[in-house]
Structure formats: structure tokens, C-alpha cells
Structure 1
Amino acid sequence: MSHALGYTVNCSLLFTELPINERPKAARDAGFHAVEFWWPFESATPAQDEIDAFVSAIDDAGVRLSGLNFFAGALPGPDRGVLSQPSRSDEFTANIEVVARIAERTGTTGFNALYGLRQEGVDPAEQDRLALENTVAAAHGVAKVGGTVLVEPISGSEDYPLKTAADALAFIAEVKEAGAANVALLADFFHLAVNGDDVAAVVRDHAAEFGHIQIADAPGRGEPGTGSLPLDELLTDAEARGYRGLVGLEYKPTVPSPESFGWLKR
């Protein structure tokens, strides 16, 4: 790899052969100093002992928790976020305070807020209004810990409204207009590529504004080198154009997780 960007391991897709709280140490043993997670609990408001065990697992492993999703319902699966769902909006708003408390203890500053799927029988305009309201609330909620809310285009579901970088950037502009400045694009090169975006153009035009980058190869979502995405080129260009954050390894390993990092040595 010809760029100098550092990596963070998404432990919701990697090391899944281990219980969640053993994964940070596995990432450290594989040579990484940072990890990120989807929401690692069943509930939007888990018991304090569950939170303590998770935070201890991060601390004991000697890694940094660089990113965390807000509660997003069943992921992967039927929900892909709840912030635009009227029936689950209360769960999302209750989750904001929990996320902020975890952030205070871990120093985490990047928080992915998944929009949620379109729902039958619910007016899309009402879902969009609610999404805006809840994203603004989330941004205000993590501002006190220096946090940024990340907005991510997602592939694999026709009913997910944000599919391209342009979709997400338009929503981010609305959030900023509504009074929350700490919101940014999560550029997942796999999702963008699968949805037909010109990833190189997105990097060229917006790299300096990215809140976070995640990678997997496409098609297939395996580790770099298992598909045809020019990931090294894209990351080198992102760095050249001003991106200074970490790169999330959010792939489904095609070999056991510890062996899936061979591409890094090449």
C-alpha cells in the first residue's frame, strides 16, 4: 500500500468467530491499535454491566475505539437503522445518551447513524422529517465529546434511501442547515462501488470532507485483493487530497480473520 493512512479493524465483521468482547484483543494481537464496531449490544439502552464489560475489553486490549454505530436495529438484516422509523424513534433518541457516555470513557469521536429503510404504510416525507430531527439531535448529543455523526450510503437494499455519495451529501447539507455542523460523509468504497457511484470521482471531489473511510473489495465484500476495486489508488488519492483519518477495514474475510491481513504485507 502506497499511502500512509492508518487502519482500524471493524470487529463486527472481522473476528466474528470470537465473542464480541474478545475481538479487541484479537485485533491487537494481529498488530492493530484501533477498532470500530457496529452497535455491539442487543438493546439501544443496555445494562450498565454490559457497557462496562465492553469498555473494559477495549481498555484491556490496549486498543483505541475509533468508531461506533448508533443503535441501528437488527444489523445486518431487516432494519439498517431506526432513526427514520416513527415506531422506533424513541429507542434511537434514548441511545444518543448511551453513545455519548461510552464516548466519554473511550475517546471515540466517529458515530455512524444509519438512516433506516423505507417502511410500508409510512409517508416517506415523514420518515425524512424524522431522520433530519434525529440526526440533528444525535449531532448535538455527541458534540460535547467532540464527536461527528457519520452519514453512510448503503448497498444491498432497494428500500434504503441514501445510496450514493450525492444522496448522503444532500442530507448532510440539510442537517447543517438545521443547525448541526458536526456531521460528515462516511465513504464506504464498497457500498459506493456496488451502487454504481464513481468512487474515484467521489474521492477527487470530497476526500477532504470525509468523516471516515471504510473499505472492502467489490464485488463480494472480501478483503482487498479479492475483487477489482483499486483500493490502494483510491486511498492514496484520498490522502493526497486531504483525508487524514483512519481507514476502517469493514470486510467479510474469505479466510480466518487473522490470516485475512496478508494484503497489508504485499
Structure 2
Amino acid sequence: MSAAYQLSSCIEWQFADAGELDARVRAAKAAGFALAEFHLWRDKPIDALAAALNETGVRLSSLCVDPRRSIVDPAEREAMVTAVRETIAATAILGKPNLIVASGFRVEGMSEEEHFANAVTALRAAADAAEEAGVMLLLEPLNTQLFATMYLVSTKLSLDLVEAVGSPNLRLLYDVWHSAVMGEDMAEVLAGRIQLVAHVQVADMPDRNEPGTGSLDWARVTRTLRDLGYAGAIGLEYFPTMPMGESLALSQRMLAD
């Protein structure tokens, strides 16, 4: 693996046999990870997790704003910004990880222009809170296979939003699997805007397992990231099909630069 990349274990789905999330941090460290990430935080043992992070030196690369609220529905805007502020406060003891924001679902009868304008307003308010706290927000486009009416299922549209908000504390989370499900060409959708990408996640097609178990061309993926100039972390957000030692070794081979 190129020294430019660090791999981050999605302990939401990995090291499950270790038990609670704090134990998974220790298991990830023992397996060689310096970074970890997970999804929602309100059902997690935050104090114990903070202790495990301090003990091991593992750093959280990301987690999700919780609860998830829409950025396009004005009726949810206040709740969405409140969720961002509460997540910032609750996860400060975890080292101020990057906080992932999803878009929410399309609002029936709302035009594309209204969807976009509402999203900019909500994200600007959220970015203000992130700037105050010194925290990075990551906007993540998903896919219509999992969420049929999700608003953000396009990398280009998501990058347009990041540019429109114009905050140094709002960037894109590019998920290779979500993008592949949507049939996007990675090099095309990221061209000229890789500086707006602060985190990348990977899983193979079609079943969201480790790189090397499906149909994606991982040599092309890593070459594209290198050629575009990405030098951040790569999150292994997949369901493992083998013991994590073997799974990590396969991922390292597939993602070798």
C-alpha cells in the first residue's frame, strides 16, 4: 500500500466478534489499523470508546451525524442543524472525527432548483457550526438501489453543493461502491475537484464486500485516485467475507498503489 494512504476499518461491520465498539477499536489496533470509523453514535458506548481510542492511539476518521435529518426538506432543517450541533458536542471526546451528512429523501412536488437551494441553506447553517467547532463535515451521496428516492445519488451534484456552500469545513465523502452502483465513471465525476474530497470509502461490486471479491478494477481505482492527487484516508466500509486478517491483507493487495 502506498505510504500516501492510510486504511480505516469500518468497525460497525468489522471485528464484530470482539464485542462492543470499544473492544473493536482494540481489535482493529491489534490487526494493524491506525484509523477506524463507524456509523451512528447514540447507541454506542461513547465514554468507553473514548477510553479505547486514548489507550490504543487509534484515530476515528469518521462517523455519522445522528439522527439523520433531511437537508432538502425545510420542515427538517432546524432538526438537521440541531443534530449536527449535538453530534459535534457528543463526539468531541472522540477526537473531533469527520462527521458524515446524508441528504435525506426527495420532497414530492419540489423542483430541482428548490431542492438545491434548500440543501445549500441547510448545509451553510451546518457548516457554520462545524467552523465554530473546528470539525469537518462530509457530504455523502448514496445510491438508488438502497434508497430509491434519496436526493443525493450523484457525485457531481454533491460536489456542486460543496462548491455552492463554499465552506472549508464541508467536503465530499466519495464512496466507490455507491458511485459504481450508480454507474458513474470515477475519473469523470471527480475530475478537477479532488481537492473537495476529504475521505474515500471502498467496497467491491456487487455485494459490498472486500476489494478483490467482486467485479471492480481496483488497479484502475487506485490509479485514478493517484492521478487525481488524492492523498487522504481510505475507509474499508464493507462486509467482510473472511477473517479480518485475511480480509485486510486482500484489501491491501487490491489497493496497493
Instruction: Specify the SS of the correspondent of 1:116.
Output: coil
Indicate the residue corresponding to 2:201 in structure 1: 214
Deviates more, 1:149-158 or 1:228-237: 228-237
Is the 2:4–2:232 Cα contact (8 Å) retained in structure 1? Answer: no
Q: Does 1:5 align with 2:5?
A: yes
Is the 1:203–1:237 Cα contact (8 Å) retained in structure 2? Answer: no
1:70 to 57, 65, 69: 65
Cα distance in 1 for residues equivalent to 2:38 and 2:204: 19
CA drift at 1:64: 0.6
Deviates more, 1:217-226 or 1:205-214: 205-214
CA drift at 1:140: 1.4
Indicate the residue corresponding to 2:80 in structure 1: 92
Q: Does 1:111 align with 2:94?
A: no
Indicate the residue corresponding to 1:161 in structure 2: 151
Instruction: Specify the SS of the correspondent of 2:232.
Output: coil
CA drift at 1:6: 1.1
Count of matched residue positions in the alignment of Structure 1 and Structure 2: 249
Cα distance in 2 for residues equivalent to 1:208 and 1:127: 25
Deviates more, 1:104-113 or 1:165-174: 104-113
Letter in 2 for 1:149: L
Cα distance in 2 for residues equivalent to 1:13 and 1:133: 33
Instruction: Specify the SS of the correspondent of 1:56.
Output: helix
2:47 to 52, 62, 85: 52
Instruction: Specify the SS of the correspondent of 1:211.
Output: strand
Letter in 2 for 1:39: L
Superposed CA RMSD: 2.7
Is the 2:49–2:94 Cα contact (8 Å) retained in structure 1? Answer: no
Cα distance in 2 for residues equivalent to 1:100 and 1:25: 24
Cα distance in 1 for residues equivalent to 2:56 and 2:107: 40
Q: Kindly, what percent of the aligned residue pairs are identical?
A: 31
Indicate the residue corresponding to 1:239 in structure 2: 226
Gaps of 5+ in 2: none
Letter in 2 for 1:56: A
Residues 13 and 232 of structure 1: is their aligned pair in 2 closer, same or farther, counting only changes over 3 Å? farther
Cα distance in 2 for residues equivalent to 1:214 and 1:263: 16
Indicate the residue corresponding to 1:173 in structure 2: 163
Cα distance in 2 for residues equivalent to 1:229 and 1:215: 10
CA drift at 1:32: 0.2
1:28-47 equivalence runs, <5 A: 28-42=29-43
CA drift at 1:173: 2.5
Is the 1:68–1:108 Cα contact (8 Å) retained in structure 2? Answer: no
TM-score by length of 2: 0.83
Deviates more, 1:111-120 or 1:189-198: 111-120
Instruction: Specify the SS of the correspondent of 2:50.
Output: helix
